[in-house]
Structure formats: C-alpha cells, structure tokens
Amino acid sequence: MDTLAQAQGTDFYLVDEMLTDDELSVRDRVRAFADKEVVPHAAGWWERAEFPNELLPAYAALGVAGGSIHGHGCPGLGAVADGLVVAELARGDGSVATFHGVHSGLAMRCVDVLGSADQKERWLPAMARAEQLGAFALTEPTHGSDVVRLETRAERDGDGYLLHGEKRWIGLGSIADIVVVWARDDNGDVGGFVVEHGPDGPDATPGYTSRVITGKTSNRALWQADVRLDGVRVPTDNRLTEARSFADTSRMLAISRQGVAWEAFGHAVAAYEYAVGYARTREQFGAPIAARQLIQDKLSRMLADITGMQLLCLRLAQLQDGGKASLARASLAKLHTAAAARRVCAEARDILGGNGILLEHHVARHHADMEAVYTYEGTDTVQSLIVGREITGLSAFA
C-alpha cells in the first residue's frame, strides 16, 4: 500500500476544533473508507475506465447517500458534514466523488428539493440504499453554459408526457435507474421529469438510448453518456411538482455547486499531502528536495491555497445551514476552489518530477480529474459571470 496516498490529516488552522463530534465521526468514517476501499484501487479503475460496481455495497453501508436530506432513509447530515464527506471521497478518487455528486448531490437532491412528499417516498429510500442509482440530465449538445436555453421538449400526451431531445455529458446516464430529465413543456416552462430507466437490453426504456462517452482524460472511472430521447413516455406523476421554471433548477444548483467546491478541496489535499511526503524522501543533489527553498516555497503556497479553500467551504456550509447560501455565494466558492485546486495539483505534479505523470503515484489522477471539476456544474467563467452580476447588478451573459 502506498502510504503517501493515505490521509495525513492536513489541518494547519486547526479547523477540526470547530467541528462537532458528529461531523468528525462522519468525516473519519468516510476517510477510512477512502483509504481502504478507494485509494488502493483507484488507479486501476482510472486506467481501465471501469466504473467500480463492486464499491456500491460498501458505499451504501457508509450511510452517506442523500447527504443533508432528512427522512426517507437518508442520513440528514448538516451541510458541514455533507461537505466533509464529499472532500474525503475526492481525496480518495475523483470518479468516486463525482459518482456521489451525481447520485446523491444532484439526482437525490432534485427529488428532495423539487419533489412532492409522495415522490420523495417513492424514489429516495432505494436511492439512499444505492439499490437504485440516479442521474441528472440537464446539459445538451448545443446548450452547455447557456443551458437556460435548453431545447428538450416534454409534450403533453394524455395522462403523461413524451420527451424528445438530446442530452450530453450525463453522469451515470447509461446505467442509472432514476434519470431526472430537464425539458420544456408545451407552455415553454422548464420542468424536471423522472425517467424510470431500465438498463439497455430487454428492460430498456422505449425511446431512451445512451452512448457512453469514451476517450476521456479526466474522471475516467465515472461514465458520462450522450442520451437520446425519442418520445420517452413519463406519467404525469413523474413530473417533479416544485420544478416549474429554470429558477427552480438554479435553486438546486446553488446547493449542489457547494459540493463541487468541497470536491476541489479534497483533490487539492490529496495532491498536496502526497507531494509533501514525496519531497521528504526524494533526494537530489545529495539532500531531500524538501530541504530546498524553492520546494518549500511551493509547498507553503499550496498549503495557503488549501487553508483558504477549507475556510471558505466551512463558512459556506454554515451559510447553507442558516439558509443564506445564495447562487452567487456558491459560485464564488466554486470559482475560487476549482482554480486554487487546479494550481495545487499542478504544483504537486511538478514536485514529483517524472513520477508526477504516473498513475501509481496518484497525483496525476487528481491533476487530470481537476480538469472535469473546473468545467462541470458551470465553468470557471460562468461562475465569475454569476458573481460579476451580483457585484454590478448587470448581466454579462448575453
């Protein structure tokens, strides 16, 4: 086992002292899971672009699916604990963290925030046990950053709807059981429609076809798919009752985007901790490279970035619990943490020299996976435009 890739507990500003016993206990449980079940296998999954199905029972047993959702078999964590879970999963592996982000952070949360009591009870318990997996289908081939202009249609058809359109980059879109599809109804209003999706084969959902996107250089063990919807029928009961316009979608993203900020923090910690350990043991010019001023300068700046991310994520989670985490506040966190984590991962990769591009040293995987984090749930630019609109009162999007 590569001990450099195991958790080192970086906490320069003693943030642990601000955490409750319950928060520390969940964090430590997920930390142990990541060290034991994820880190030793992650490079293999990544190289083979293999979704780790075998991890699902242990993931379910962790009891973290559903995060801050109360009831319906979900753990009802506070926002801080919910974020710490994501950070620890990302410290273990980006694909595993993204899996949790899609299933729990997006699909389950959509049902919780925008579904009726009946809809929650219908779908959430099996998802909390990870017996049914969720996906969130918003992005389209021609609408990424401007997804507010989405074109997928939900055409009224008797006591249901027929979905027509195309979606792109849908995490778990080929294997999920519960796919929340965002589409425009006959009035032009955006709604969330739950497709109960059977896997390809005899149980396939008529009209739903998916193709896994291959050749990726990031997040390789978590499959994203191109999805075609050719008249997929969903009953009226499967329309999320509280999703009436794109503003409701944004309300959801304001929460899920916070998870992406924690994810970036987790990647940065993993890369930093590995780099510190490596620099202490790697000797060049007759001494460990960690003894060199320039390496120490890099490590100090990496730690400054990490500490900033940690404090920002913690405060945002407190705001979330107090009902004050707006879309712009979530965007500022994603803007800052994704850029800072990308820097930290790049510095760590450099400190490892040639070994920095080898999967067996872990940092390369985090470095590559940060590219996906930098882009998904809104690119760096989109986050800055959301914050810019908040600062100036003027929208620069169009």
Ligand X SMILES: Cc1cc2nc3c(=O)[nH]c(=O)nc-3n(C[C@H](O)[C@H](O)[C@H](O)COP(=O)(O)OP(=O)(O)OC[C@H]3O[C@@H](n4cnc5c(N)ncnc54)[C@H](O)[C@@H]3O)c2cc1C
Q: Which of these, 267, 290, 262, lies nearest to 352 by C-alpha position?
A: 290
CB-hemisphere CA count at 13 Å for 306? Answer: 27
Nearest residue (CB) to ligand X, 273 versus 369:
369
- Choose the binding region for ligand X from 118-126, 196-204, 231-239, 375-383 (rule: CB under 6 A): 375-383
Can you tell me which of 10, 119, 139, 256 binds ligand X, judged by CB under 6 A?
Answer: 139
Can you tell me which of 372, 374, 386, 387 binds ligand X, judged by CB under 6 A?
Answer: 372
Can you tell me which of 116, 145, 241, 355 binds ligand X, judged by CB under 6 A?
Answer: 145
Can you tell me which of 379, 388, 389, 390 binds ligand X, judged by CB under 6 A?
Answer: 379
CA dihedral 273, 275, 278, 283 (to 10 degrees): -140
Site for ligand X in 311-350 (CB under 6 A): none
Nearest residue (CB) to ligand X, 6 versus 224:
224
Give the contacts of 233 (CB within 8 A, at least 6 positions apart).
Answer: 157, 160, 161, 162, 163, 206, 207
Site for ligand X in 166-185 (CB under 6 A): 169-171
Nearest residue (CB) to ligand X, 92 versus 171:
171
CB of 4 to ligand X, least distance (A): 26
CB of 330 to ligand X, least distance (A): 14
Site for ligand X in 66-105 (CB under 6 A): 102
Site for ligand X in 211-250 (CB under 6 A): 219, 224
- What is the number of the residue whose Cβ is closest to ligand X? 144
Nearest residue (CB) to ligand X, 148 versus 304:
148
Rounded CA gap, 79 and 259, in Å?
9
Rounded CA gap, 240 and 396, in Å?
31
Nearest residue (CB) to ligand X, 12 versus 397:
397
Helix (H, G, I), strand (E, B) or coil at 299: helix
CB of 382 to ligand X, least distance (A): 6
CB of 144 to ligand X, least distance (A): 2
61 backbone dihedrals φ, ψ, rounded to 5° = -65, -25
Rounded CA gap, 152 and 289, in Å?
55
Nearest residue (CB) to ligand X, 133 versus 289:
133
CB of 277 to ligand X, least distance (A): 28
The pairs formed by 63-67 with CB atoms below 8 angstroms and a separation of 24 or more are: 64/26, 64/30, 64/100, 64/104, 65/100, 65/103, 65/104, 65/108, 65/127, 65/128, 65/129, 65/130, 66/104, 66/108, 66/112, 66/124, 66/127, 66/128, 67/104, 67/105, 67/108, 67/109, 67/259
Return residues touching ligand X (CB under 6 A).
Answer: 102, 136-139, 144-145, 169-171, 219, 224, 372, 375-379, 381-382, 397
